[in-house]
Amino acid sequence: MQIQSGQLAVLTGGGTGIGRALVRQLAAAGVHVAMCDVSAAHMAQSRDQALAGAPAGTRISTFVCDVSQEAQVLAFRDAVMAEHGASHIHLLFNNAGTGGGGAFVNGSRADWERTFNVDWFGVYFCARAFMPLLVAAPVGAIVNTSSVNGFWASLGPDTPHTAYSAAKFAVKGFTEALVTDLRCNAPHVTAHVVMPGHIGTSIALNTYDALAMPDAVVALMRARMVKAGAPVANASDDTIRQLMHQRAVDFRDKAPTSAEQAATIILDGVRAGRWRILVGEDAERIDVMVRNAPEDAYEPAFAAAWRDGKPGLGR
């Protein structure tokens, strides 16, 4: 699909990370953008940055919305139509996401469902709300962000990762099924699933405030660190909080692929008509590993080979 000046893109999670980079790059191409996010302040920063590099006349609107709440998504849709005078849209980027809900067996149900609801129902509710507007356009694309955890449900053998993985598997399967659904019922609209690896975003920082973690979560994090060999058994709770906060900062600042690079890969993939868009060399490598050795994917040796970048499994 051509992405060109004058089109209208709707994007969730536009306040930070890949969402902000997509807003900037779309606006630079003269595409009008309607974004939502849970943070008005972050969206204002995205909007200012995008307008600074956009052609005159490019419109960017913002709307505070929790995509896990259908009523808020429907209000976002109505605001898009009103603010942009739109009877159709050309691009829908279901990009909003959050982490958490790692353990199903003994974790918090509320935390699990919060993560799953944002990462899966956020995509579903937005697809339901905006699909008629996509179909009404002469040409359109729905771009759903899954993850490497949409085909490998793991952060390693010692770290439960259930809610996020379940949601991202659902996003991947839904988007793959949409390829045929749209081909049969709206062939001028294409579906694309995005599967990023480690991207330099603030998702870990945005998921929770590590410095304000409750004592029960601190105890869980301490146990995981000790199991992984970290000498923190006798560290203070505040030290554990600081370590978790620094991990989230490092996740953002030391990633192999930047948010800006990720946005470029995504938009290039949409332009090329690729329904399956892997983002980052790490995503490409683990995709090969899982495909080559699916029965080994959740064994310690698999994670070690992946982590150490050694040849062997998947090579």
pLDDT at residue 310 is higher than 60: no
pLDDT digits (tens, 9 = 90+) for 133-176: 999 999 999 999 999 999 999 998 888 999 999 999 999 999 99
> Which residue would you say has higher pLDDT here, 311 or 128?
128
Confidence of residue 313 (pLDDT cuts 50, 70, 90): very low
Residues taking part in catalysis? 164
CA-to-CA distance for 148 and 146, rounded, in angstroms?
Answer: 7
Taking residues 73-98, report their average pLDDT.
98
Q: Give residue 208's pLDDT.
A: 53
pLDDT (tens digit per residue) in 195-237: 999 897 655 555 555 456 677 677 766 776 776 678 878 888 7
Length of the chain in residues, anyone? 315
**Whole-Å CA distances, 299 to 91, 229, 294:** 39, 18, 10
Give the mean model confidence (pLDDT) for residues 7-12.
Answer: 98
Residue 127 pLDDT exceeds 80: yes
Look at residue 311 and tell me whether its pLDDT is greater than 60. Answer: no
pLDDT at 241 over 80: no
- CA-to-CA distance for 13 and 35, rounded, in angstroms? 7
The per-residue pLDDT for 315 is: 31
The whole-number pLDDT of residue 234 equals 84
CA 9 to CA 80: how far, in whole Å?
10
Q: Per the structure block, which two tokens stand in for 62?
A: 């913002």
Mean pLDDT (the chain, rounded): 90
pLDDT exceeds cutoff 80 at 114 = yes
CA angle 33, 37, 103 (to 5 degrees): 135
Q: What is the pLDDT of residue 228?
A: 67
Three-state DSSP at 104 gives coil
Q: Are 66 and 92 in contact (CB under 8 A)?
A: no
Residue 172: per-residue pLDDT: 98
Is the dihedral angle over the CA atoms 207, 213, 214, 216 positive or is it negative? positive
pLDDT of residue 246: 61
From CA 19, how far away is CA 149, in angstroms rounded?
Answer: 19
- pLDDT over 70 at 119, yes or no: yes
Per-residue pLDDT, 109: 95
Specify the higher pLDDT residue, 208 or 118.
118
Residue range 35-72, pLDDT digits in tens = 999 999 999 999 999 999 999 999 999 999 999 999 99
Mean pLDDT to the nearest integer, 285-292? 95
Greater pLDDT, 256 or 191: 191
Sign (positive/negative) of CA torsion 106, 108, 111, 112?
A: positive
Residue 277 confidence (pLDDT) above 70: yes
Q: Is the pLDDT of residue 249 over 70?
A: no
List 63's β-bridge partners, or say none.
36
Predicted pLDDT at 251: 57
Amino acid 312: pLDDT? 43
